[in-house]
C-alpha cells in the first residue's frame, strides 16, 4: 500500500493531519458555543467544514483514492451556496434589528 502513496504525501504523517483538523474543528465548535455574533458563528461553522475537508483530502491522498477529493468538491459547492444564503439572511436581520447578536434575535418569535 505504501507504494501507491506519493513521496510528497508521505513526508507528513497522517496523524498530523488528524491532529490539525481536530484542532480546527474544536476551535469551530468553541466559537459556535461561546460567541454571540451571528457572523462569527457563521465563520466558525465554515471552519468546521474546512476541518472535515482537510481530513477527507488527507485520507483520500493516503489511500490514493480520489473519492474523498470528489466529496470535498461537492462540500465546497454546498458551502458556497450556504454562504450566499446565510450572509443574505444575516444582512436582512441586521437591516431590521441593527444588530447581529443572536440573543436579541428572540424577537423573531411570535
Contacts of 98 (CB under 8 A, 6+ apart): none
3-state secondary structure of 65: coil
Which residues, 6 or more positions from 51, have their beta carbon under 8 angstroms from its beta carbon? 21, 22, 24, 25, 28
- Which domain CATH number covers 29? 1.10.287.3510
Residue 17 lies in a domain: yes
Indicate the pTM of the whole model. Answer: 0.82
Which residues form the domain of 36?
Answer: 11-101
Q: pLDDT tens digits, residue range 32-87?
A: 999 988 899 999 999 999 999 999 999 998 888 889 889 999 999 999 998 999 99
Q: What's the number of domains the chain is made of?
A: 1
* Within a domain: 82: yes
Residue 40 maps to a domain: yes
Grid cell 465546497 in the structure block, residue: 76
Looking at the domain assignment, is residue 87 inside a domain? yes
Which DSSP category does 51 fall into?
A: H
Amino acid at each position: 500500500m505504501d507504494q501507491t502513496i506519493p513521496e510528497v504525501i508521505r513526508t507528513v504523517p497522517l496523524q498530523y493531519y488528524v491532529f490539525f483538523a481536530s484542532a480546527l474543528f474544536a476551535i469551530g465548535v468553541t466559537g459556535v458555543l461561546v460567541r454571540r455574533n451571528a457572523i462569527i458563528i457563521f465563520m466558525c461553522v465554515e471552519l468546521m467544514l474546512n476541518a472535515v475537508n482537510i481530513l477527507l483530502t488527507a485520507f483520500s491522498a493516503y489511500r490514493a483514492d480520489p473519492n474523498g477529493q470528489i466529496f470535498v468538491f461537492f462540500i465546497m459547492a454546498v458551502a458556497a451556496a450556504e454562504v450566499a444564503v446565510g450572509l443574505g439572511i444575516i444582512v436582512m436581520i441586521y437591516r431590521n434589528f441593527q444588530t447581529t447578536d443572536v440573543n436579541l434575535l428572540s424577537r423573531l418569535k411570535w
